[in-house]
Each structure stands twice: as structure tokens, then as C-alpha cells.
Amino acid sequence: MNLQGHLRGLAWELQDRFPIIVGNGGRVLKVQGERPISLDSGTHHNLRAVSVNPRDGTALIVGNAGTVLLLDGERFKKIPVPTLENLRTVAWNHDGYVALLAGNNGTLFKFSRGQAVMVDAGKANLRDISWRPKTSSALISSNCFAEEFIPSPNLFTYDADTNIVGAMNEGHLDLIGVDWKQTGESALVVGYDVVWHTGFIGSYNGTTVSPVSFENNHVYPVAVAWKPSADVAAIVTATGQVGMAKGTVFFWNGNSLNLIFSAPDFFFSDVAWTWKSNILAAIASTETKTFNA
């Protein structure tokens, strides 16, 4: 389906009837079949990510200049947060009572009972969040440098009970996407090597990150999503420079990486499975670049 504008993030509504899609200029769409329905978000800031609450079906949306919106049906409520940093990612936990919001310069908030509380998470740009199933902990992926090339951990763990962030991995990788497998035994992390300009896919077992082998020259994975009902993960890629690589969708089954789709002009920023069925949706744009996915 071709949609207008630069769209960045998506999540399926709770009954799997349609994905909610967000993007630049405050765009929020519900795509039902071939019919996109545009909602008035009340903002013109670029929106980057959306997460649906598994308890009540409301959706948290985050974006530039500290924008946080709560979508209930077709009504938006602005959530005040004490920052003007660009927020890149948001994720509800598995019972829908706590969410994390994260973004540039180590900006991290714990959101619960309608309020956002700041959490200390360093200075690097935080890129993605995934809660470990049946636990109160989450993984947060990050760029590997902060400010003027100050080395930073690129993977953190967060404990909702203690409200403490801990460093789990370091190196010259910008880790852009992360997702726990539904069993909670491992997580996939994806990104790229900032020195060698090669893509990276890694498996995290709770203590260490092990690389997954693939043809990675200028192929930059930016998002990953495990299928809820099977041992299959979808991984999507973008590029740092048009003409250097294609936007691709891979399936990873734990042993091999299989190419499902590729396009020379569209580059992906997000991917999501439905809650209960076997449908996959991914967002791509001609404007998406790895560094800004």
C-alpha cells in the first residue's frame, strides 16, 4: 500500500483489526484494509513511535520536541514531560501498567498512572525498548557514542522495581532495534558498525551478545519483531546512502536468515506482528536513512 508522507512507526490495535501508523508532521493513521483513516493528533511535530497497551488498547505515541500523546479511540491527550529532546521509542510492559519512553541524549521516562518520571540513563541517544516477558525488566538499545564521541554502552537493562538502568554491552555498534523472544530466553538486537559500516544482528542471552552471520556490507538492520506464536523474527533494513543497498525484510528462525522482500527505493523504519494472527506489517519510505530511523 502506498501512503503519503514520511511514516516512521506502527503498532497493531489490540484486536488486530488495523495498524496504527505515525510519522512526520504529526501524522497518525489507522489503516483498515485499503482505507487509511487520518486522525488529528493536534501536533505538527514529527512522530516516531507508537505502542499499544495490552490491557486497555490505548496507545502511547512519542515524537520530536518531547511530544507524548495518549490515543484513546480517536481522542488524543497530550502527556506533559519535562524535556524538549526528540523521543524515539515507547513500549508498554506486558501487563499494561508501566511504559518506558526514550530518546536522544539519554532521555528516559517511566510512565505509569498517567505520569512520567525521569530515569537516569546516561547521555547517548536511546533507540528502542523491549520488555522481557513475564518480568519487570526491559532492554534498551542505544548509540555507542554520546555527545562529542564519548564512548557509551550500547545496550542497557532497566528494572521497573528498582527504577535502575544498568549497562550490558559496549563496542562500536549503534544498536537501533531490540526485541525479546516470547519465551524470554533470548533477544535479538540489530544495528550497524559505525567504523566499518557493516550491518549487525546479534542474539542476547541475558548476559552477552553473540553476532549472527549474514551478508552485511552497507546493509543496516534497524528494527526487529519476534512473531508471538512461533520461533520466527522479522528484521527490516534501511541504508545510510541511497544506491548502496536495498530495503529488505528478513526472517530469522534461530538458525538461518531468509530474504523475504527487497526494494531499491524504499527503506524500512519499523516492523510489527499482529497480537494473535500471522500478519506482519512494515513501514518503509524513500526518505528513511539508517542514522535517523
The total number of residues written for the chain in this structure: 293
- Using CA atoms, how far residue 129 sits from 77, 241, 289, in Å, is 23, 26, 20
Q: Let me know if residue 149 belongs to a domain.
A: yes
CATH number of the domain enclosing 250: 2.130.10.10
Q: Let me know if residue 100 belongs to a domain.
A: yes
Q: Let me know if residue 266 belongs to a domain.
A: yes
* Rounded Cα distance, 190 and 19, in Å: 23
Q: Let me know if residue 118 belongs to a domain.
A: yes
How many distinct structural domains can be found in the chain?
1
Which residues make beta-bridge pairs with 145? Answer: 151
User: Is the CB of residue 80 less than 8 Å from the CB of residue 119?
Assistant: no
* Rounded Cα distance, 102 and 29, in Å: 22
pLDDT of residue 292: 63
pLDDT along the chain (293 residues), means of 10: 89 97 97 91 98 98 98 96 98 97 98 96 97 97 92 97 97 97 96 94 96 89 94 92 82 94 92 95 79 58
Q: Let me know if residue 2 belongs to a domain.
A: no
Q: Let me know if residue 42 belongs to a domain.
A: yes
Q: Let me know if residue 129 belongs to a domain.
A: yes
- The model's pTM is 0.96
pLDDT of residue 290: 53
Question: 250: domain range?
Answer: 7-292
Q: How far apart are the first and last CA of the chain?
A: 20
Q: Let me know if residue 1 belongs to a domain.
A: no
Q: Which triple of cell numbers denotes residue 41?
A: 493528533
What distance lies between CA 265 and its chain's CA centroid?
A: 22
Q: What is the 3-state secondary structure of 275-290?
A: CCCCCEEEEEECCCCH
Q: Which triple of cell numbers denotes residue 257?
A: 536468515
